[in-house]
């Protein structure tokens, strides 16, 4: 939670002289001054003001319209903080559970409640996008795939077996976003006058886009604690009138929930309104069940690395990787990668991809095979309880290792079983996809520009953690592969070093609305490892 100076009235106390009248008693004198008073302005001009809270020269003059508007704005922020509670993370009203759905792009989804009366949407959670949106036409509504509720543990979908559509006219709290709004990026496409703001988002996936108009409506939340206090937050949504590409078949057919860093994303809006801290967490369970919490700052024992902002693009969650460990082999070099929960698998550019793949292949003892139509190059015949897979760890800026618990995916054609290195070669971008986040709680601290991670059991309370067994330096750098899952790898010797070299394309400007999807065939062939 933010510090005290951002409260609606900054009460500064001038402590006068006091004299004890007895052994246990004393009297205090206090002068109360609100934030924008002349006295506080004098103090601020004569000393060092708190960074980030404005120069006193920029404060509005007492009695002006700007003066009272500023006080009202602080009132609003204060009420928002009081509503949620100073230390209460928030989650969706219908629950903090997320679920990974293989038939819908292997992404994590959650059920959100929007509008008045509320309507439920089954949305994909995407840290690589900013705008949250729901379909507003029946053409984009698909029937809920039956395997959503039987492949993983069932998620109680209150929207029923059919996806919902968003109707602004049916919600009493829906408001149009005018072209004059700070959220409107397409002012040049607005007709004459202050009409409703349009939007057009094109994703990197082929022919995938969404167009419509921006609206403001209520997102129903609750505190993620024993009190379950309800919170209604005004957020900006894309009212999708035309959806193309993968939105109509294999991914996010009922909406996308943008968790990016620009002002239009829900975490940004919640923070600006003073409802939560400017941070959130996502837990990615090994069994496909996860959790999401807004305002979660993480824990003191989590590993962390710095997030870099690209100056020539919208801000995104970009981390610097200084090395990659494959088994006991260390590949050195520097690359930058986007951490994107909206990308199913991990994408790397050459030469990094080829170095990792060759190193991985040299450590595997199983027979390599080629599986047509799959995007993965390095696949092998599975020997249950015998196949050994090299562990993979990303050495982040600062020295902490990001241990990848799911570097492979199991594939079956109904007769034989295989496993593949779940990394795909990219021509443009380095992306740490959702598969690399499995088994971890990822904290996106946007105030500090820090990405935190920790091995975590998503079924535990947030104050509890999985027991991590200490590794042995002499343990083999492999883990057993079985259809039932992957065991955690013990610590290994890291005595081999291979030059990885920097990836020049990884420093290019990244599209904030990045959204890649796995081939539809993969959902028919692959069995995600439980």
Q: Are 122 and 179 in contact (CB under 8 A)?
A: no
Number of CB atoms found within 10 A of residue 290's CB = 27
CA distance 234 to 215: 10
Do residues 167 and 250 both lie within one domain?
A: yes
CA distance 214 to 178: 8
Secondary structure (3-state) at 76: helix
Q: Which residues pair with 238 in a beta bridge?
A: 133, 214
Q: Average pLDDT in the 30-48 region?
A: 51
Whether residue 54 is contained in a domain is answered as: no
pLDDT score for 309: 75
pLDDT at 529 over 80: no
pLDDT at 507 over 50: no
Sign of CA dihedral 41, 46, 47, 48: positive
Q: Are 530 and 484 in contact (CB under 8 A)?
A: yes
Do residues 289 and 389 both lie within one domain?
A: no
Do residues 321 and 285 both lie within one domain?
A: no
Do residues 328 and 286 both lie within one domain?
A: no
Do residues 146 and 125 both lie within one domain?
A: yes
Residue 494 belongs to domain spanning: 303-461+470-527
Do residues 153 and 289 both lie within one domain?
A: yes
Q: Average pLDDT in the 281-302 region?
A: 95
Q: Average pLDDT in the 28-32 region?
A: 43
Domain closes at, from 269, 294, 319: 294
* Choice among 104-113, 121-130, 311-320 with the minimum mean pLDDT: 311-320
E-strand stretches of 373-459: 379-381, 388-390, 392-396, 401-404, 408-412, 417-421, 423-426, 431-432, 440-445, 450-455
pLDDT at 171 over 90: yes
Q: Is 287 a catalytic residue?
A: no
Whether residue 261 is contained in a domain is answered as: yes
pLDDT score for 447: 93
Ramachandran quadrant class, 55 (left: phi over 0; alpha: psi -120 to 50; beta: rest): beta
DSSP alpha helix (H) spans, 336-457: 352-363
Report CA 511 to chain centroid distance, whole Å. Answer: 16
Of 270, 265, 260, nearest to 343 by C-alpha is: 260
pLDDT at 10 over 80: no
Do residues 182 and 216 both lie within one domain?
A: yes
Do residues 282 and 336 both lie within one domain?
A: no
Query: Any idea which residue has 């949504």 for tokens?
Result: 237
pLDDT score for 361: 97
pLDDT score for 525: 44
Compare 384 and 123 and report the one with higher pLDDT. Answer: 123
pLDDT score for 459: 86
What tokens appear for 363 in the block?
Answer: 């450590």
Domain closes at, from 241, 260, 294: 294
Number of CB atoms found within 10 A of residue 266's CB = 24
Whether residue 416 is contained in a domain is answered as: yes
Q: Average pLDDT in the 48-70 region?
A: 48
Dihedral angle computed from the Cα positions of residues 216, 264, 289 and 492, in that order, rounded to the nearest 10 degrees: -170
Of 406, 431, 408, 437, nearest to 347 by C-alpha is: 431
φ and ψ at residue 358, rounded to 5 degrees = -65, -40
CA distance 112 to 117: 13
Compare 37 and 385 and report the one with higher pLDDT. Answer: 385
Compare 396 and 88 and report the one with higher pLDDT. Answer: 396
Do residues 441 and 308 both lie within one domain?
A: yes
CA distance 71 to 62: 10
Q: Average pLDDT in the 365-390 region?
A: 91
Q: Are 510 and 318 in contact (CB under 8 A)?
A: yes
Query: Any idea which residue has 């015949």 for tokens?
Result: 381
Q: Are 520 and 205 in contact (CB under 8 A)?
A: no
Report CA 91 to chain centroid distance, whole Å. Answer: 13
Whether residue 113 is contained in a domain is answered as: yes
Of 74, 36, 82, nearest to 57 by C-alpha is: 36
pLDDT score for 284: 96
pLDDT at 365 over 50: yes
Compare 214 and 64 and report the one with higher pLDDT. Answer: 214
* Choice among 10-24, 30-44, 256-270, 304-318 with the minimum mean pLDDT: 10-24
* 315-340 tens-digit pLDDT: 889 999 999 999 999 999 899 999 99
Whether residue 163 is contained in a domain is answered as: yes
Query: How many domains does the structure of the chain reveal?
Result: 3
Whether residue 55 is contained in a domain is answered as: no
Whether residue 49 is contained in a domain is answered as: no
Residues 6+ away with beta carbon under 8 Å from 43: 12
Q: What is the CATH number of the domain that holds 438?
A: 2.40.70.10
Catalytic-role residue among 31, 75, 340, 366: 340
pLDDT at 424 over 90: yes
Do residues 431 and 360 both lie within one domain?
A: yes
Q: Is 350 a catalytic residue?
A: no
CA distance 55 to 70: 14
Q: Average pLDDT in the 223-250 region?
A: 83
φ and ψ at residue 245, rounded to 5 degrees = 70, -135
Q: What is the mean pLDDT of the chain?
A: 73
Of 432, 413, 121, 130, nearest to 261 by C-alpha is: 130
Number of CB atoms found within 10 A of residue 234's CB = 14
Domain closes at, from 273, 294, 315: 294
pLDDT score for 516: 37
pLDDT at 160 over 50: no
Catalytic-role residue among 126, 130, 217, 224: 126
pLDDT band at residue 37 using 50, 70 and 90 as cut-offs? low
Do residues 374 and 493 both lie within one domain?
A: yes
What tokens appear for 122 in the block?
Answer: 């089954």
Do residues 226 and 272 both lie within one domain?
A: yes
* 431-488 tens-digit pLDDT: 999 999 999 999 999 999 999 999 999 988 653 323 333 333 232 233 334 332 222 2
φ and ψ at residue 30, rounded to 5 degrees = -125, 135
Whether residue 133 is contained in a domain is answered as: yes
DSSP alpha helix (H) spans, 242-351: 266-272
pLDDT score for 42: 57
Q: Average pLDDT in the 345-367 region?
A: 95
Q: How, if at all, do strands 132-135 and 230-244 pair?
A: parallel
């Amino acid at each position: 939670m933010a510090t005290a100076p951002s409260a609606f009235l900054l009460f500064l106390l001038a402590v006068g002289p006091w004299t004890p009248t007895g052994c246990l008693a004393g009297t205090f004198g206090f002068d109360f001054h609100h934030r924008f008073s002349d006295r506080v302005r004098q103090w601020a001009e004569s000393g060092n003001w708190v960074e980030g809270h404005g120069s006193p020269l920029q404060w509005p003059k007492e009695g002006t319209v700007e003066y009272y508007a500023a006080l009202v704005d602080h009132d609003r922020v204060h009420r928002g903080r009081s509503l949620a509670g100073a230390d209460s993370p928030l989650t969706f009203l219908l629950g903090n559970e997320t679920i990974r759905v293989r038939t819908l792009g292997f992404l994590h989804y959650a059920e959100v409640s929007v509008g008045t009366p509320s309507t439920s949407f089954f949305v994909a959670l995407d840290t690589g996008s900013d705008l949250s949106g729901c379909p507003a036409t029946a053409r984009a509504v698909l029937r809920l795939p039956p395997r959503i509720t039987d492949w993983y543990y069932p998620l109680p979908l209150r929207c029923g077996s059919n996806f919902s559509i968003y109707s602004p006219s049916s919600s009493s709290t829906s408001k149009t976003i005018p072209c004059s709004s700070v959220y409107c990026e397409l002012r040049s496409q607005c007709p004459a006058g202050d009409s409703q703001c349009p939007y057009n988002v094109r994703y990197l996936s082929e022919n995938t886009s969404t167009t419509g108009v921006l609206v403001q409506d209520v997102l129903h939340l609750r505190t993620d604690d024993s009190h379950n206090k309800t919170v209604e937050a005004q957020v900006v949504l894309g009212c999708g009138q035309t959806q193309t590409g993968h939105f109509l078949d294999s991914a996010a057919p009922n909406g996308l929930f943008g968790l990016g860093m620009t002002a239009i994303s829900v975490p940004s809006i919640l923070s600006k309104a003073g409802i939560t801290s400017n941070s959130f967490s996502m837990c990615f369970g090994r069994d496909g069940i996860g959790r999401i919490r807004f305002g979660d700052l993480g824990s003191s024992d989590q590993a962390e690395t710095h997030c870099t902002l690209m100056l020539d693009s919208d801000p995104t969650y970009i981390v610097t990787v200084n090395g990659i460990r494959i088994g006991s082999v260390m590949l050195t070099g520097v690359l930058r990668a986007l951490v994107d929960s909206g990308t199913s698998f991990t994408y790397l550019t050459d030469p990094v991809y080829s170095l990792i793949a060759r190193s991985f292949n040299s450590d595997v003892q199983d027979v390599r095979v080629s599986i047509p139509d799959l995007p993965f190059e390095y696949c092998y015949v599975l020997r249950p309880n015998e196949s050994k897979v090299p562990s993979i760890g990303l050495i982040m800026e600062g020295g902490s290792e990001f241990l990848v618990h799911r570097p492979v995916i199991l594939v079956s054609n109904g007769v034989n079983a295989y496993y593949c290195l779940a990394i795909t070669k990219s021509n443009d971008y380095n992306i740490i996809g959702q598969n690399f986040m499995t088994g971890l709680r990822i904290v996106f601290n946007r105030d500090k520009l820090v990405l935190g991670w920790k091995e975590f059991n998503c079924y535990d309370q947030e104050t509890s953690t999985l027991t991590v067994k200490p590794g042995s330096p002499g343990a083999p750098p492999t883990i057993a592969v079985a259809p039932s899952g992957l065991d955690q790898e013990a610590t290994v010797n890291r005595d081999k070093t291979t030059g990885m070299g920097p990836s020049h394309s990884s420093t290019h400007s990244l599209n904030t609305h990045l959204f890649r999807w796995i081939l539809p065939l993969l959902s028919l062939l692959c069995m995600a490892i439980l």
